[in-house]
Every structure is written in structure tokens, then in C-alpha cells.
Structure 1
């Protein structure tokens, strides 16, 4: 029988038989003595199964995290693409607005010039009659030339010359006659000059037309 005095003292470094002998788990799959594959003990199998389960759970968590990250990245990419599409549409709308505004300003300018020129046509007719009769001289000549130059600078052009081919799109025939000397309808005389801009006829030239005989 072992007495209390026979037990090893605490801290002596010797295992206490009452506490049991320490056990070690050898996880090596190959037996170092025989070189053969060892069969795991029940305890080793339990530990291996536990490690496998833990590893599987860890991999599942990582996979779920990866899937969630991919889903979040796809959502952010979709948001970015929508933002880029909205920005592109906004740029196109602004570009169309600028072009439309410029076209409207140019059209308004042309309408203003045409309206002013049409209002001045009677004055231009009087100036032309005074020139034909030799009454345009002195200060009035200078004013008439300045007016004509100003209208030309805004694209207003006087047209209509005797001898040119008659064009009903730009000429208004007030008189007709026939002659063997022409092979097509021809302006014989300009009664009133026409006025036009680059894109419209302000007033057709009023002319006398001579047609071929026969």
C-alpha cells in the first residue's frame, strides 16, 4: 500500500501514477518501422474526421464569402455601367441642344436679315430708278452705296441681267415676245431687279421675256 509520503512531490518532474500515464497520438500514415500504411486508431480517426469537418466548414465560409464578393462586384459594375450610360446620354442631349441652339440662332439671324431687306426693297427700287435717270449724285450717291454695301455684307444680293436664260424659279415674266434670234426663253429686259439671300428669294426679278419663234 502506498502512503501519502511515498507519492512524488509536486514539481519533482515525475508523473503521478494517480493522474495516469501521458498518451501521445502518432499521426504518421506510414509506420516508421515496417514502412507500411498504418491504420488510424479510433481516436486518430475521430480527430481526422473533426479536422475534415472543420476544414470543410472553413472552405464553405470562404466560398460563401467569395460568392458574396462576386455578387457585390457585379452589382457595383452594373451601377457603374448605368452611370456611364446616363452620362453618355446627357452628353448627347447637351450636344444636340447646342447644335439645335446654334441652328435656331442662325435661322433667326437669316429671318431678321430677310425681313429687313424685304422692307428696304422699295427704297432700293427708288435708288435704282434715280441711277437710271442720272439723278443719283452727291451725298445721296454715297448713302445709296453704303446701303448697298451693308446689305451685301449681310448676304443680300441683287440679281437679274438681260440676256440670261429665263428661270421661273427666280424670274417673274411681265412681258412676252418672240424672236428667231433665241433658242430658249431669254430675259430681254430687266424691269425690276430681284433680291435674294443664300437660301431664299426675297423678290423675283421682274423681266420681259423673249421666246423662240415657232
Structure 2
């Protein structure tokens, strides 16, 4: 049998010569290059997974990751991510607390206002009773046990904030007085209340009823 180069030996039963050793090495190198190139470009499944991860990080308040996530020890910062998440949660908690504080203040303010309205309504309903008590006192009919009851009623209403006003000789104030009569016999320099026909009442800054008076005006 004649000698032939080892690289050109044909396979038994075939006329096609076997590939040379250099050709096999080149083919293996090409396969390695293709595998390396394939790892640089993520496939469809990897793209979907990256999109899902980005959405989950956005929902959790974490900053987005630039490029593919790197494993711990190769540039990742788990402590920074944890601090960012804690800061986001703290801001949410502070906003919730501020909203609760504002709500509580509104409730307290509305409750106080409702209490003032109810107290003013009760006091205004008792003003005719006080007018009768005042008329009986002026005519000398307020004596005996009825006088004691009237004094207790007046003291109780004063503790609740009811205040009477309106005196003869004080300047006329349209916000506090209601002029029912014109007094032309008294000489004054400014409009003046000369007679109180019915006392006025207020609670705090709120006037429940103006004082009804006779007024003298300058000539």
C-alpha cells in the first residue's frame, strides 16, 4: 500500500477525503466565536425577564438598573438599594401622617364650631325667659323662691358664655343697638342711647340679639 499523508486519509467506504486537522481547528474556532457573539445579545426570553424586573423595581420604589443586573460583588449595591427603598417608604409615611394631622384638625375645628352653634341656639331660645325675669325684677315682683331660681338661672347662663349688654348713656353702635325711639329732648354731641327698652345679649363675639334702645342725636 502506497504511503499517503495522514491528513488526507479517506474514510473507509467513501471516496471523499477526511478534513484536514487545520480545517477542524478553524471550524471549532468559528463555533466558539458564534457562541461568544450569542451571549452578547439577549434572546426574547431574557428581554421579557428584564422588562418584568424593571416594572417590579419601579413598583417597589427602587431606581432602575442601567444595563443587565450584575451579581453581588461585581458592582451591585444592595445597601444603596435598601436605603433608597427605606427613604421612599419614609416619605410615604410622612405624607400619610401629615394627611392624618390635617384631618384631625379639621374634625376638631368642625366639632368646636358645631358645639358653639348648638350652645348659641340654646341661649337664644332662653332669651324670652330672661326678658320676663328682668321685667319682674324691674317691677318688684321677683321675690321669694322665684327670685332664687331666677338668680341661679342667670348665673348658669353666664357660665355658659351668655353676656348681657346695653346701658343708658353709652354711644349708639349700629352693630350692638337697635334704635326703636328717637329722643329729641336730650342734647348730645354724638348719637347716644338714652333709654334701654330691651337688653341685648351675646356669646363671645357673636351677638344673639341687639339691645333695643331710644337714641338721641346731635341737633
Tell me the TM-score normalized by structure 1: 0.65
How far apart, in 1, do the equivalents of 2:185 and 2:144 lie? 41
Give the whole-Å Cα distance in 1 for the aligned partners of 2:170 and 2:74: 85
Name which of 39, 52, 67 aligns with 2:75.
Answer: 67
Tell whether the 8 Å contact from 2:187 to 2:216 is kept in structure 1 after alignment: no
CA change 1:78–1:139 in 2 (3 A) is same
Rounded to whole Å, the distance in 1 between the matches of 2:85 and 2:185 is 80
Q: Which has the higher contact order (CA 8 A, sep 6+)?
A: 1
CA deviation after TM superposition for structure 1 residue 77, in Å = 2.2
Aligned to 1:101: 107
Q: Are the aligned partners of 1:179 and 1:211 in contact in 2 as well (CA < 8 Å)?
A: no
The answer as to whether partners of 2:172 and 2:215 remain within 8 angstroms in 1 is yes
Structure 1 match to 2:8: none
Larger radius of gyration: 1
CA RMSD of aligned residues (A): 1.9
Q: Report the count of equivalent residues.
A: 150
- Taking the aligned partners of 1:121 and 1:193, their CA distance within structure 2 comes to 10
Matched residue of 1:67: which SS? coil
**Aligned equivalents of 1:123 and 1:200: distance in 2?**
20
Residue in 1 aligned with 2:134?
128
The reply on whether 1:150 has 2:156 as its aligned counterpart is yes
Cα deviation for residue 110 of structure 1 reads 0.9
Structure 1 position 113 matched with structure 2 position 115: no
Deviation at 1:179, TM superposition (A): 5.5
**Residue of structure 2 in register with 1:191 after alignment:** 197
8 Å Cα contact 2:187-2:217 kept in structure 1: no
CA contact (8 A) 2:186 2:216 kept: no
| Unmatched runs of 5 consecutive residues or more in structure 2 | 1-69
Alpha-carbon separation, structure 2, partners of 1:132 and 1:199: 28
